[in-house]
A and B are shown apart, each in its own frame.
Chain A
Amino acid sequence: DTEVTQTPKHLVMGMTNKKSLKCEQHMGHRAMYWYKQKAKKPPELMFVYSYEKLSINESVPSRFSPECPNSSLLNLHLHALQPEDSALYLCASSQVGGSNQPQHFGDGTRLSIL
């Protein structure tokens, strides 16, 4: 079982809907990440939080809005998404200290935009 829990596992939404993806970890990690992954491709980094503060935004469109309410939780708020946003959204966490720290991934939310 993964130590990073993501909900929901699947989400289908229309282009005008507002929804949120949730991620939770209890490993004491203070770095948390959102990735987008297309089929048979590597994950693409979207956001990084370090000590609950946004440290990296990889020029992600504003229709994706991350939030880190505490050290265990990470949310991704979605609004007015496009069909090309359909993908697997992965959350990960790690110890702080940069990219040498191994990242622990959740199983992702499979998002489909109608």
Chain B
Amino acid sequence: TQLLEQSPQFLSIQEGENLTVYCNSSSVFSSLQWYRQEPGEGPVLLVTVVTGGEVKKLKRLTFQFGDARKDSSLHITAAQPGDTGLYLCAGAPPPPKDDYKLSFGAGTTVTVRA
């Protein structure tokens, strides 16, 4: 399994502040998915990035896939308490290793204080 290093592990910020979560690897991924998991629920897919250098925006969330498809970042602008949760990045290996096994990062627990 390819290793995805996610940082930071924990992040506690005040409402209105910005935050960035990073996922890095020495391996190339054919795509990278970002999930958010709230307490008592399963992970919910936020976005999939596929093309190197791709930037996707989802309201206050901005996702970027590195040019070499080895890293990704999630930036949240003006965070709100509803953004609180466990953020997970997950990489899909390129063919011929495309065998349903996502490589998950360790997760970032984000707490936004009101």
By a beta-carbon cutoff of 8 Å, the part of chain A in contact with chain B is 2, 4, 31, 33, 40-43, 45, 48, 50, 55-56, 90, 92, 94, 98-100, 102-108
- Classify the secondary structure of B's interface with A: loop
Q: Given that A98-B92, A99-B92 are known contacts, is A106 also in contact with B99, CB under 8 Å in the complex?
A: no
Question: What's the A-B contact tally at a CB cutoff of 8 Å?
Answer: 68
Distance (whole angstroms) from the CB of A29 to the closest CB of chain B: 12
Known: A103-B33, A103-B45, A107-B41. 5 other contacts (CB 8 A): A99-B92, A99-B93, A102-B33, A105-B42, A105-B43
Distance (whole angstroms) from the CB of B89 to the closest CB of chain A: 9
Interface residues contributed by chain B, number (CB under 8 Å):
28
**Which of B31, B106, B107 is the one whose CB lies under 8 Å from A100?**
B31
Q: Given that A41-B106, A99-B93, A100-B30 are known contacts, is A56 also in contact with B42, CB under 8 Å in the complex?
A: no
Q: List 26 A-B contacts (CB under 8 A).
A: A2-B42, A40-B86, A42-B88, A42-B104, A43-B88, A45-B101, A45-B102, A48-B100, A48-B101, A50-B100, A92-B42, A98-B99, A98-B100, A99-B92, A99-B98, A99-B102, A100-B30, A100-B48, A100-B50, A105-B42, A105-B44, A107-B40, A107-B41, A107-B42, A108-B41, A108-B42
B104-A100 in contact (CB<8A): no
B105-A99 in contact (CB<8A): no
B109 within 8 A of A: yes
By a beta-carbon cutoff of 8 Å, the part of chain B in contact with chain A is 30-31, 33, 35, 40-45, 48, 50, 86, 88, 90, 92-93, 95, 98-102, 104-107, 109
